Amino acid sequence: MGVDDQTKIEGERPTEDGQPLAAARISEYVSRIGRDTIVALALVGALGMLLAIFGIASNGREFIGANIIQIVDSGTILGVVAIGEVIVMISGELDISVGSNAGLVTAVTAEVVLHLNGSVALGIVAGLAAGVLTGAVNGFVVAYLRISSVIATLATFSAFSGIALLLTNGNPVGVTSNFLASVGTGTIASIPWLVIILIVIALVAVFGMRFTLPGHNVYAVGGSAEAARLAGIRVQRYVLGVFALSGFCAAIAGIMLVGQTGTAQPTEGSVGLELTAITAVLLGGTGLTGGTGTVLGAFLGVMVLSTLDDGLLLIGVPSFWQQVATGALLLIGVILQDVGGHRARWRTLHAARRRAHPTDVPFEVEGR
Partner 1 sequence: MTVNDTQTTTSVPRLAARRLSKLYGHVAALDDVSIDFRPGLNGIIGDNGAGKSTLLKILSGVELPDEGAVFVDGRPTLLVSTRAARAAGIESLYQDLALVDTMSIADNIFLGRERIRRVLGVPIVDRRRMRNEADAALREVRIRMPSARVGVRQLSGGQRQAVAITRAMLFGARVVLLDEPTAALGPRETAAALRIVRDMADRGETVVMVGHNLPQMLELADALIVMRAGRVVASVDPAHTTLRDLTDFMVGSNA
Classified as helix, coil or strand, 264 is strand
Min dist CB 342 to partner 1, Å, is 16
Min dist CB 17 to partner 1, Å, is 16
CA distances (Å), origin 99, targets 90, 108, 185, 253: 19, 14, 21, 9
Min dist CB 281 to partner 1, Å, is 16
Q: How far apart are CA 89 and CA 219, in angstroms?
A: 10
User: Backbone phi, then psi, for 286, in 5-degree steps?
Assistant: -95, 130
13/61 with CB nearer partner 1: 13
Please give the residue ranges that form the binding site for partner 1 (CB under 8 A).
1-5, 7-13, 24, 27-28, 31-32, 211-214, 216, 219-220, 222-224, 226-233, 290-292, 362, 364, 366-368
121/230 with CB nearer partner 1: 230
Residue-wise burial string across 72-102, b where 16 or more C-beta atoms lie within 10 A, e elsewhere:
bbbbbbbbbbbbbbbbbbbbbbbbbbbbbbb
Q: Are 94 and 288 in contact (CB under 8 A)?
A: yes
231/275 with CB nearer partner 1: 231
Min dist CB 297 to partner 1, Å, is 15
290/297 with CB nearer partner 1: 290
**Alpha helices in 58-192, H assignment, sequence order:** 66-74, 76-90, 98-115, 120-143, 149-168, 178-185
Q: How far apart are CA 43 and CA 49, in angstroms?
A: 10
Min dist CB 94 to partner 1, Å, is 17
228/240 with CB nearer partner 1: 228
